[in-house]
């Protein structure tokens, strides 16, 4: 049955096509930009970088590629994939297709941490560290509050605690914005809150990638149980899983992934909300397939968004602005076409 | 195997709904839980399943307290058929039934070929194999209920608990579900079924447990226990129990006043 179904609904061909499209966009992103980089020269630079060809390094090109474009490309792929994976998990966990990765306040907490770092004129590494810690701490606080409240409706209490703590973090953020230097710090905070890959350094990739990978492991291992979790606590328990423990694992994993990419790229909305839907339309709700499809689509989507961000105008447009302009119409279209199925 | 509930007290945190309920069943039994709205049927049901912590008493399977089992271990022994509901995501019928196999798989495993085969076998047994690739969301209420029963079958648990499986179904689908429940019992399952309709207990039950205000009003074999007196007391209306020519019993509400 499984084999037949895989062929019938074309999961493997769909994934192959998607991979090819994302790879093509990635190649295009590598060779396009203000500094001219002919594909041949890029290929030679790559061969040289991996020690596959002898001779002189093509100086300037090398810098453009490996200090700017490749880190930026990797950051976009990783951010898109991580946010989409987290969105997929949260939508399943909270049994609500309108949920995004910041439902439990991870974005608000990260934003507050980063703003604090910028306000105190800390170095970039410290700002990123504070953003990461702020995101994790906020979700931990939300989880603790929800556990202490102990209502019948655990999931509802958790979401409401997220709303409350998120609003609190938002208030603190507003206070910092008012106190911040309006010529120097405020624009930095605002830009950070809308997301950008403009200042991505190779070191950022190395600092965020391990956390994303660690978060991904339980999602892959527990992929089947995630399906059972979407039936709600009682049914999941009756089917033999421990919903409370599993939820904690999934929330930790998704939060870790989100906080890691938010700490290097800033707050980028819409991706984690819209991409899981599109992936679900393409491959169905089974998490075994949905997770890879969502991650791949998210990576491709983020690449396109970043190319628009650096190519549309002479200055960089914040990523969050572009994802909103792309995401809102897509979402309205999804609402119109799928509203019945969400009943 | 034998499921025994002994002097069970049940309710929510800080609020006791009922107490003193004892019952027992083994393979081939269909025990019908009857009672008016708000009598604690659902709470009792969920407490037996271990979904709500019990306030007192024991639930044991072959002498072992169910609190000693892991969730997974318990799910291999007891399957739960909730009332047919719309899921949030459009799973296929096949995947829905496949979720019944979760208790038989390791923590990190996805269903195997064997699991897929037993999911298909469960659909086959309930006569709905043709629905396998359909979207569960787009089925009728009766079809959904049968799919959920198939999922419980795929779980391969000796005890199956059905929560008002006929609620919100049309007459034809109600009879279809009851017939399938009878068949499951013949094939060796032990079944607890809650229902609002005493006729459904007559139609497929072997034993009955009538609950009122959280306490046992009457319990025993259907024919002897489900009398007009018991039913009248249970629902606070006059009920007559009539034996049809074929030997079957039905209950008849009081005549409408003129």
- Give contacts of B46 with chain A, Cβ < 8 Å: 234
Contact B89 A223 (CB under 8 A): no
> B154: nearest CA in chain A?
A239
pLDDT of residue A39: 84
Residues B73 and B161 in one domain: yes
Cα-based torsion angle of the residue sequence B191, B195, B199, B204 in order, rounded to the nearest 10 degrees: -10
Q: Is residue B234 part of a domain?
A: no
Q: Indicate yes or no: CB of A238 within 8 angstroms of CB of B79.
A: yes
Partners of A234 on chain B (C-beta within 8 Å) are: 46, 51, 80, 82
Rounded to a whole number of angstroms, the distance from the CA of B237 to the nearest CA of chain A is 34
Query: Would you call A240 and B75 a contact, using CB atoms and an 8 Å cutoff?
Result: yes
B144 and B162 together in one domain: no
Q: How far is A261 from chain B (nearest CA, A)?
A: 26
In this structure, how many other beta carbons lie within 10 angstroms of the beta carbon of residue B215? 14
Please state, in angstroms and rounded to a whole number, the distance separating the CA atoms of residues B220 and B16: 25
Interface size between A and B, measured as CB pairs under 8 A: 93
Q: What is the ipTM of this complex?
A: 0.93
User: Is residue B115 domain-shared with residue B145, that is, in the same domain?
Assistant: yes
Nearest CA distance, A148 vs chain B (angstrom) = 14
Which residues does chain B have within 8 Å of residue A92's beta carbon, measured at their own beta carbons?
A: 89
Task: Please give the DSSP secondary-structure letter assigned to residue A342.
Answer: G
Question: Residues B112, B6: one domain?
Answer: no
Within a domain: residue B235? no
Residue of chain B minimizing CA distance to A232: B87
Reported in sequence order, the residue ranges of chain A that DSSP labels E, i.e. its strands, are none
Q: For the CA atoms of B212, B218, B219, B221, what is the dihedral angle to 10 degrees?
A: -130
Which CATH number do you get for residue B201? 3.40.50.300
Tell me whether strands B190-195 and B30-34 are parallel, antiparallel or unpaired: parallel
- Structural domain contains residue B33: yes
Which residues form the domain of B122? 88-156
Q: pLDDT tens digits for B189-242?
A: 999 999 999 999 999 999 999 999 999 999 999 989 999 999 999 999 989 898
What is the reported pLDDT for A342?
Answer: 46
Whether B247 is covered by a domain: the verdict is: no
Do B165 and B133 lie in one domain? The reply is: no
Is the same domain home to B172 and B58? yes
Question: Does B45 fall in a domain?
Answer: yes
The residue in chain B having the minimum alpha-carbon distance to the alpha carbon of residue A242 is B71
What confidence score (pLDDT) does residue A175 get?
A: 95
Report the C-alpha gap between B44 and B33 in whole angstroms.
10
- B212, B216, B220, B226: CA torsion to nearest 10: -20
pLDDT of A58 reads 66
Residue B65 shares a structural domain with residue B170: yes
Burial class from Cβ neighbours inside 10 Å (0-12, 13-18, 19+) for residue A178 reads exposed
Cα separation, B94 vs B249, in Å, equals 38
- Flag if A150 and B110 touch (Cβ within 8 Å): no
In this structure, are residues B90 and A341 in contact, taking their beta carbons and an 8 Å threshold?
Answer: yes
Residues 6 or more apart in contact with residue A280 via CB below 8 angstroms: A97, A290, A294, B89, B90
The C-alpha of A274 sits at a distance from chain B's nearest C-alpha, in angstroms, of 15
| Cβ neighbours of B102 in A, within 8 Å | 224-225, 228, 239-241
Percent of chain B's residues with pLDDT above 70 = 100
**A150·B13 Cβ contact <8 A:** yes
Q: Give the SS3 label for residue B167.
A: coil
Which helix (H) or strand (E) element contains residue B118?
A: helix B113-125
* Residue B73 to residue A263: CA distance in whole angstroms: 42
Number of domains in chain B: 2
For testing the chain A interface, which of B81, B88, B134 should be mutated: the one with the most A CBs within 10 Å? B88
Phi, psi of A284 (to 5 degrees): 90, 175
CA distance B180 to B167: 15
Partner-chain contact B99 A239, CB within 8 Å: yes
pLDDT at A1: 41
**Summary mean pLDDT of chain B:** 92
CA distances from B179 to A241, B146, B203 (A): 30, 11, 9
Most A CBs within 10 Å, among B79, B89, B114, to test the A interface? B89
Closest CA to A59 of A75, A74, A41, A72: A41
Inside any domain, residue B206: yes
Low-confidence ranges of chain A (pLDDT < 70): 1-9, 54-58, 151-152, 338-343
Compute the half-sphere exposure of residue A318: CA atoms within 13 Å on the CB side of its CA.
16
Asked whether residue B37 falls in the same domain as residue B148, the answer is no
CA distance B63 to A179: 68
**Chain B residues close to A6, C-beta within 8 Å:** none
Write out pLDDT tens, residues B76-120: 999 999 988 888 899 999 999 999 999 999 888 889 999 999 999
Angle in degrees, 0-180, between the axes of helices A319-338 and A271-283, rounded to the nearest 10: 40
Please, what is the end-to-end C-alpha distance for chain B in angstroms?
53
What is the H or E stretch that residue B210 is in? Answer: strand B207-212
Do residues B209 and B193 share a domain?
A: yes
Q: How far is CA A166 from CA A105, A135, A163, A171, A282, in A?
A: 5, 10, 5, 9, 32
Chain B CB contacts of A238 under 8 Å are 49, 51, 75, 78-80, 82
pLDDT at residue B175 above 50? Answer: yes
B198/B143 same-domain check: no
Q: What pLDDT, on a 0 to 100 scale, did the predictor assign at position B200? A: 93
Report the candidate in A247, A106, A121, A97 with the shortest Cα–Cα distance to residue A179: A121
Are A262 and A241 in contact by the 8 Å Cβ rule? The answer is no
Set of chain A residues whose Cβ sits within 8 Å of the Cβ of B100: 239
DSSP bridge pairs for B10: B18
For domain A82-342, the question of CATH label 2.40.128.20 is answered with: no
- Residue B187 counted as domain residue: yes
Domain ranges of chain A: 82-342
Which chain A residue lies closest to B91 (C-alpha atoms)?
Answer: A285
Q: Is B119 part of a structural domain of the chain?
A: yes
Q: Final residue of a domain: which of B114, B134, B156?
A: B156
Q: Return the closest-CA partner of residue A194 out of A291, A313, A110.
A: A110
- For B29-56, write each residue's pLDDT tens digit: 999 999 998 888 989 999 999 999 999 9
The pLDDT score that the predictor gives to residue A338 is 64
Same domain as B72, residue B20: yes
Residue A116: CB partners within 8 Å, gap ≥ 6? A130, A134, A176
**Burial degree of A342 (CB within 10 A; 0-12, 13-18, 19+):** middle
Is the domain of B44 the same as that of B106? no
Single residue among B156, B174, B193 that ends a domain in this structure? B156
- Give the H or E element holding residue A334: helix A319-338
């Amino acid at each position: 049955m499984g084999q037949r179904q895989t062929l019938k609904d074309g999961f493997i061909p769909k994934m192959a096509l998607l991979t090819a499209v994302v790879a093509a966009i990635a190649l295009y992103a590598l060779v396009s930009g203000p500094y001219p980089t002919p594909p041949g020269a890029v290929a030679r630079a790559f061969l040289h970088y991996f020690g596959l060809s002898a001779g002189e390094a093509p100086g300037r090109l090398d810098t453009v590629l490996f200090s700017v474009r490749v880190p930026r490309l990797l950051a976009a792929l990783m951010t898109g994939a991580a946010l989409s994976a987290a969105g997929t998990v949260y939508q399943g966990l909270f049994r609500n297709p309108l949920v995004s990765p910041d439902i439990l306040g991870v974005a608000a907490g990260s934003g507050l941490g980063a703003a604090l770092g910028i306000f105190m004129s800390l170095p970039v590494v410290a700002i990123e560290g504070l953003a990461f810690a702020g995101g994790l701490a906020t979700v931990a606080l939300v989880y603790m509050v929800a556990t202490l409240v102990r209502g019948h409706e655990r999931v509802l209490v958790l979401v409401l605690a997220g709303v409350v703590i998120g609003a609190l973090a938002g208030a603190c953020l507003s206070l910092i914005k008012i106190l911040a230097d309006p010529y120097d710090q405020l624009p930095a905070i605002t830009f950070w809150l809308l997301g950008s890959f403009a200042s991505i350094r190779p070191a950022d990739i190395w600092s965020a990638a391990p956390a994303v990978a660690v978060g991904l492991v339980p999602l892959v291992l527990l992929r089947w149980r995630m399906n059972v979790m979407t039936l709600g606590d009682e049914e999941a328990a009756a089917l033999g899983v421990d919903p409370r423990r599993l939820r904690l694992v999934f929330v930790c994993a998704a939060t870790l992934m989100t906080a890691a990419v938010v700490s290097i790229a800033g707050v980028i909305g819409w991706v984690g909300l819209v991409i899981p839907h599109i992936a679900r339309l393409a491959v169905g709700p089974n998490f075994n397939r949905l997770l890879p499809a969502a991650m791949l689509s998210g990576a491709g989507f983020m690449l396109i968004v970043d190319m628009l961000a650096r190519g549309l105008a002479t200055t960089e447009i914040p990523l969050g602005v572009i994802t909103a302009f792309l995401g809102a119409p897509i979402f309205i279209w999804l609402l119109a076409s799928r509203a019945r199925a969400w009943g | 195997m034998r499921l025994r509930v002994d002097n069970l007290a049940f309710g929510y945190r800080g609020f006791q709904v009922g107490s003193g309920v004892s019952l027992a069943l083994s393979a081939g039994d269909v025990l019908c839980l009857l009672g008016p709205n708000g009598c604690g049927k659902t709470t009792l049901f969920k407490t037996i399943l271990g979904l709500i912590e019990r306030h007192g008493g024991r639930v044991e399977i072959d002498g072992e307290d169910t609190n000693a089992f892991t969730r997974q271990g318990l799910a291999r022994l007891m399957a739960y058929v909730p009332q047919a509901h719309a899921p949030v995501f459009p799973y296929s019928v096949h995947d829905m039934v496949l979720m019944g196999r979760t208790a038989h798989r390791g923590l990190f495993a996805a269903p195997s070929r064997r699991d897929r085969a037993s999911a298909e076998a469960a659909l086959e047994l309930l006569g709905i194999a043709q629905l396998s690739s359909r979207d569960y969301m787009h089925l009728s209420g009766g079809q959904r209920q049968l799919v959920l029963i198939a999922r419980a079958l795929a779980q391969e648990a000796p005890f199956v608990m059905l929560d008002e499986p006929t609620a919100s179904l049309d007459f034809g689908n109600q009879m279809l579900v009851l017939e399938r429940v009878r068949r499951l019992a013949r094939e060796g399952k032990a079944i607890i079924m809650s229902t609002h309709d005493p006729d459904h207990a007559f139609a497929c039950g072997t034993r009955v447990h009538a609950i009122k205000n959280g306490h046992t009003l009457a319990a025993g074999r259907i024919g002897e226990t489900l009398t007009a007196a018991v039913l009248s007391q249970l629902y606070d209306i006059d009920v007559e129990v009539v034996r049809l020519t074929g030997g079957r019993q039905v209950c008849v509400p009081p005549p409408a006043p003129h």
